[in-house]
Amino acid sequence: MPHPKRESAAALLVKEHFTPREVSELLEIDMYVIERAARDGALKANVVDHHVLDIKREDLLDWLDRWEHLAP
């Protein structure tokens, strides 16, 4: 049964801004990885007082492209 506040993958794919949780669910990556990348500056995001609030679609795609090139 789906989480009541969870958006479908199709709905997430068309968004322009994401929360770390949405990225985690969409990509099946631990949310800690997303938040750490944002805090470290590897993933451009809106971070306030160490809280990752918002990630733009274009910044997420750029990070994924760079991350893919680092994979063995």
pLDDT digits (tens, 9 = 90+) for 45-62: 999 988 999 999 999 999
Q: Within 10 A of 60 (CB to CB), how many other CB atoms are there?
A: 21
Domain boundaries, given as residue ranges, for the chain? 15-70
pLDDT in tens, 2-38: 555 666 667 767 789 999 999 998 889 999 999 999 9
**At 43, is the secondary structure helix, strand, or coil?**
coil
**At 19, is the secondary structure helix, strand, or coil?**
coil
Residues forming a β-bridge with 55:
18
